[in-house]
Chains A and B, each alone.
Chain A
């Protein structure tokens, strides 16, 4: 029995070691770790130079998503100050000083190609549709840990703090409307077409065309979200710095890439198993010595040895 167990253990270690090494040092690991993105990502293109700040999209969003009015500001008017448990979409005015150039900005979920919230969520409650790429929340899986709020670089997922059955509130690109063949509520009501809906590729091309048509009109002559944080499905054009209107500089690597080593360590559970195997091996050897010493102690003192 003893021998077979030892053999089993050694076989385990012998099997695990190459897998563990492979998992850690696979040359193609980087390419493999980049998850295949959605097949046909759809999104929105928001052009800050066209937005007149009418907030029709805010109202349409609240109506389409059945959101209660947010009257926290004065107890009377629907006037959200930021994205919150009642607000999935908001228009803000950026005007730092009297003289400076001002700009509106529309904020909602960016529907990242490789979203941080989805990587963080322990039970796939936040999940990314592999077809249209919409990031949605599944209530039956959420444990309410709020890790998504820590992870999202855009501060998008919001938690219903006041409820005993709290939900995560975030833009889901009007998922039910898309299923019926309509476009999202916000893009459908925009009077100046400052925000438009379409396949991500088309929107990207449209954005680049606008930049080409009027060079130096747009900040950095680029579309925010083409590569930022691995690419987003909601794209932005702006005449003021992106950072100023709430679009942080995040680099081109997707946020979940920061968990590269975590993923490698837990790949096939090889390294944890190897760790267990090594600890068991050492323990079995030391345990034998320990039992011997305990017997000696018992003979010496006449007391039951303690574990």
Chain B
């Protein structure tokens, strides 16, 4: 098995596996807990439920669920830019997985953001542009992010669903073929352009948020280039998330792994990291903060932890052009994901000292809500890949699926 060359050619649903597994039920339970606790938060106020205070006014719902999850969910645009704009055709095989991880991650983050804001009923003002403060990075985030998740990202995810309907809903097929598919073909380039422009804008604005924090953000993180570093980190974090999701899915559902595509993804990610880390070092030296990096206090150790977690695996990936072992790649990918997540979370938490002595630690309910919505995102992903042709597989799996679907569901997969 190991020596057979696998090529991912086509999105194929995960078939012949039951949906209701113990793990899936566990995810649903965690999701249910977080929904119940969210309702509890809405009726009791933030102070009773969370560990936030006036000094640390932003808790994990913003620093983790929004900053980190949308970073992890950046695969849709990061890999998309490589596949569509720089025209790496081979990456089209993983695009459906990438946009699906983006969709679930973004919505999970946005729900947490909706629970985090204290006066959500005033949010209708997003429809009133004359009330916008165009200079606020947070305005950019809270307009751009829901717009992206609702329109371009959602539209990017419709082809697998329509494809399922094409096969399972014969009476709908003429409308699909004659009306809907031509519209998609005509509008797709514009949707894609928007789907890459918007994340570039709001992922950089997420970094710009902390510019106003000034000296509260430690000097190793606080730089005028924070927006650039943030969107860049979102780029490689998105790659690492999609690589991880693909590998875990292949292991969990015993699907063949295409190491050639994974290596391409890993190498692009590694180059992004090398450039990112290089720029970050140069920037720190240029600002004259080299001493802070070698102070070996809490912050400098955190900085080196981040740097090593992303740089060491990146160098490892780049030095193994051929024959990268799946286990090694997975280990490297997890390290990069952890390092990237740490970078995204640090300017608002570990490297954010608003007042000496003040502390923030998330409460139990706060943490359950944060984790619960991540579980819901994973559950949504599992449902989607089991019903829709999303995860990439060799052409032979599709042929097998044809027979399987015909036997089990009586669905004719061949062309009408």
> Does the CB pair B125–A143 fall under 8 Å?
yes
Residue-by-residue, is B113-145 near A (CB-CB < 8 Å gives 1, otherwise 0)?
000111110110100000111111111101000
- When each residue 270-303 of chain A gets 1 if its CB lies under 8 Å from chain B and 0 otherwise, what string results? 0010011001101110110111010000000111
Kindly provide the distance from the CB of A1 to the nearest chain B CB, expressed in whole angstroms: 10
User: Which residues of the other chain, B, contact A214 by a CB distance below 8 angstroms?
Assistant: none
Interface residues of B in 367-398 (CB under 8 A from A): 389, 395, 398
Contact A161 B208 (CB under 8 A): no
Bound-complex Cα distance A155 to B197 (A): 35
Once the chains bind, are A283 and B84 in contact (CB under 8 Å)? Answer: yes
Closest CB of chain B to A165's CB: distance in Å? 7
Over the window 15-59 of chain B, the binary record of Cβ atoms lying under 8 Å from chain A Cβ atoms (1 yes, 0 no) is: 000000000000000000000000000111111100011110110
Q: Which residues of A contact B212 (CB under 8 A)?
A: 116, 119-120, 147, 150-151, 255-256, 258-259
A98 within 8 A of B: no
B188-196, B263-271, B301-309 - interface stretch: B188-196
Determine if B138 and A122 form an interchain contact, defined as CB atoms under 8 angstroms apart: yes
Question: Chain B interface: which of A16-24, A43-51, A230-238, A260-268?
Answer: A260-268
* A307–B136 CB distance below 8 A: no
Residues of chain A contacted by B47 (CB below 8 angstroms): 160-163
Q: Which of B46-87 contact A (CB under 8 A)?
A: 46-48, 52-55, 57-58, 84-85, 87
A144: contacting residue among B117, B131, B190, CB under 8 A: B117
Contact with B along A143-162 (1 / 0, CB 8 A): 11111011101010011111
Is the C-beta of B201 less than 8 angstroms from some C-beta in chain A?
yes
Q: For A302, what are the chain B residues with a Cβ–Cβ distance below 8 Å? A: 415
Question: Which B-chain residue is minimally distant from A146 (CB atoms)?
Answer: B57
Alpha-carbon separation in the docked complex, A96 to B389 (Å)? 68
Q: How far is the CB of B39 from chain A (nearest CB, A)?
A: 12
The smallest beta-carbon distance between B109 and chain A, in angstroms, is 14
Contact A141/B54 with A166-B46, A259-B135, A259-B208 known, Cβ cut-off 8 Å: no
Residues of chain B within 8 A of A159, CB atoms compared: 46, 54, 57, 118
Q: Is the CB of A144 within 8 A of B132?
A: no
Q: In the bound complex, how far is the Cα of B46 from the Cα of A85, in angstroms?
A: 13
Q: Which 5 A-B pairs have the closest CB atoms?
A: A144-B118, A161-B47, A144-B119, A122-B139, A149-B57
Contacts of B214 in A (CB 8 A): 153, 250, 255, 258
**Residue A182 interfacial (CB < 8 Å):** no
Residues of B within 8 A of A282 (CB): 84-85
A161-B53 in contact given A119-B212, A120-B212, A272-B197 (Cβ < 8 Å): yes
Residues of A within 8 A of B282 (CB): none
Q: Is the CB of B190 within 8 A of A259?
A: no
In this complex, what residue of A is CB-closest to B47? A161
Whether A266 and B140, one on each chain, are in contact in the complex, defined by CB atoms closer than 8 angstroms, is: yes
**B205: chain A residues within 8 A (beta carbon):** 262
A275 to B11, CA, bound (A): 31
Chain B residue at minimum C-beta to C-beta distance from A156 = B54
Give B residues with C-beta under 8 Å from A.
10-11, 42-48, 52-55, 57-58, 84-85, 87, 89, 92, 96, 116-120, 122-123, 125, 131-140, 142, 159-160, 163, 166, 184-185, 188-190, 192-194, 196-197, 200-201, 205, 208-216, 224, 227, 354-355, 389, 395, 398, 415
Instruction: Tell me, yes or no, whether A121 is within 8 Å of chain B by CB.
Output: yes
Question: Provided the pairs A164-B45, A256-B212, A284-B189 are in contact, do residues A122 and B57 lie with their beta carbons within 8 angstroms?
Answer: no
Residue on A with the closest CB to B392?
A306
Least Cβ–Cβ distance between B141 and chain A, in angstroms: 8
In the complex, the chain A residue whose C-beta lies closest to that of B113 is A145
Asked whether A121 and B55 contact (CB < 8 A) given A164-B44, A282-B85, A283-B192, the answer is: no
State how many angstroms separate the Cβ of A144 from the closest Cβ of chain B.
2
- Give the most central of A141, A147, A282, A291: most B CB within 10 Å: A147
- CA A307 – CA B93 in complex, angstroms? 9
- For B43, the chain A residues whose CB sits under 8 A away are 164
When the two chains form their complex, are residues A147 and B136 in contact, meaning their CB atoms are under 8 A apart? yes
CA distance A149 to B358 in the complex (A): 14
**Cross-chain pairs A/B with CB under 8 angstroms, 18 sampled:** A119-B136, A120-B138, A143-B123, A143-B125, A144-B122, A145-B118, A146-B58, A153-B214, A161-B45, A161-B46, A162-B47, A262-B140, A279-B85, A280-B193, A283-B85, A283-B189, A287-B192, A306-B11
Most buried by B among A145, A147, A250: A145
* Complex interface residues of chain A between 111 and 156 (CB less than 8 A to chain B): 116, 118-125, 140-147, 149-151, 153, 155
Return the contact of A150 from the options B58, B116, B135 (Cβ within 8 A): B58
> Which residues on the B side are within 8 Å of A287 (C-beta)?
188-189, 192
Cα–Cα, bound, A29→B205 (Å): 21
Residues of B within 8 A of A291 (CB): 185
Q: Is the CB of A306 within 8 A of B137?
A: no
Q: Cβ of A89 < 8 Å from any Cβ of B?
A: no
Q: How far is the CB of A229 from chain B (nearest CB, A)?
A: 9
Q: Across the interface, do A161 and B133 meet the contact criterion of CB distance under 8 Å?
A: no
Instruction: Give CA–CA (A20, B247) in the complex, Å.
Output: 42
How many Å from the CB of A195 to the closest CB on chain B? 23
**With known contacts A140-B122, A164-B42, A166-B45, A145–B84 Cβ distance under 8 A:** no
Q: Is A258's CB under 8 angstroms from B117's CB?
A: no
CA distance A118 to B139 in the complex (A): 12
**Interfacial chain B residues near A142, Cβ < 8 Å:** 118-119, 122
Contact A279 B196 (CB under 8 A): yes
Report Cα–Cα, A108/B401, bound state, in Å. Answer: 69
Cross-chain contact B211 with A258 (CB below 8 angstroms)? yes
Q: What's the Cα separation between A140 and B125 when bound, in Å?
A: 10
Report the minimal beta-carbon distance from A145 to chain B, rounded to whole angstroms. 5
* With contact pairs A147-B209, A161-B53, A162-B48 given, residues A303 and B398 touching in the complex (Cβ less than 8 Å): yes
Query: Is the CB–CB distance between B54 and A158 below 8 Å?
Result: yes
Closest Cβ–Cβ distance, residue A237 to chain B (whole Å): 24
Bound-state CA distance A260–B52 (Å) is 30
With the chains together, A83 CA to B355 CA distance in Å?
14
